[in-house]
Amino acid sequence: MTVRGKAPAKLNLTLSVSPGGGGYHEIDSFVCSIDIADAVVVSSRRDDNVNIVMHGLGSESIEYEDNNAVKAALLFQKTFDTRGVDITVYKNIPMGAGLGGSSADAASVLKCMQKLYKSGTDDEVKALADSLGSDTGYMTAGGFARITGRGEKVERLDIRKRTLDFLLLLPKKGVCTRDAYRLSDLYEKAPDKTQEAIQAVMDGDLEALGACMYNDLTRAAVYLNPDVGLAKEQLESFAPLGVCMTGSGSAVAALFENDMFCEWAKSRYRGKYSCVRTKTIPGKPAEQEE
């Protein structure tokens, strides 16, 4: 039997970071799913092997032991004593961009295996996802949400009727997440505007949302990869409602009033970075059984 899943990328519209205990950081972030997604196919096996094939965007070079989708499958197998799986991932989410691609793949594999082997509750699957990465638990359902703590505390937000339009710039070089968090402690943090941003979307006030968009990791990311700063400047030249880096970078997103303004900006962009239009999508990506 085979289950197919979509693994949507995410954007951090706000990201407040503060030092936590044990070398970890506490975050407060308003996140959303966007219509850039990997396709994940998971098939059951009669033995205990876990195999994976990656396609696209250089993902073929990811080592088996470092692949989050593999880690997710092995963890599910161990926890629920299931057989193995064959996994195929078709990459559309740029890697090393702060868009959560590896977390999305891991979350999708967990949800596919839950359906495939009829094992585990949603809460149990989310707990497994939380152990794999700070935003992986959120990725098991996606959509608009507020994530706090180390990323494991997820407050789903009912904003299904609101669609936001963004233009992304994608520098080729990524940013080391660990270094970005470590260096961010050296910089003064901005006031946390996460609640204000959420209320702005609830109220349909896109200008207010744009004014709230920020990311405490930006200055550290710019130090590590100056392309982040240049991409941000280039997007700001189009006078969007707001601009911010997502995750630890290196992707930068600009919020526009609608897709027409996004297309206008994209058609006039002459810079060196990959330029992509995207918009928000609802949560709970579906899996289809074959």
Q: Which amino acid is at 285?
A: P
pLDDT in tens, the chain (290 residues): 999 999 999 999 999 999 877 778 999 999 999 999 999 999 999 999 999 999 999 999 999 999 999 999 999 999 999 999 999 999 999 999 999 999 999 999 999 999 999 999 999 999 999 999 889 999 999 999 999 998 999 999 988 778 999 999 999 999 999 999 999 999 988 899 999 999 999 999 999 999 999 999 999 999 999 999 999 999 999 999 999 999 999 999 999 999 999 999 999 999 999 999 999 998 875 455 55
Helix (H) or strand (E) holding 157: none
Interior angle at CA 13, CA 8 and CA 14, nearest 5:
130
Q: What is the pTM of this model?
A: 0.94
Within the chain, strands assigned E span 2-19, 25-44, 50-55, 85-90, 145-149, 153-156, 165-170, 214-215, 242-245, 252-256, 274-281, 287-289
Going by C-alpha positions, the residue among 109, 118, 122 that lies closest to residue 71 is: 109
Just list the catalytic residues.
10, 135
Scored b (16 or more CB within 10 A) or e, 57-70 reads: eebeebeeeebbbb
Asked if 83 and 48 count as a contact pair (C-beta separation under 8 A), the reply is yes
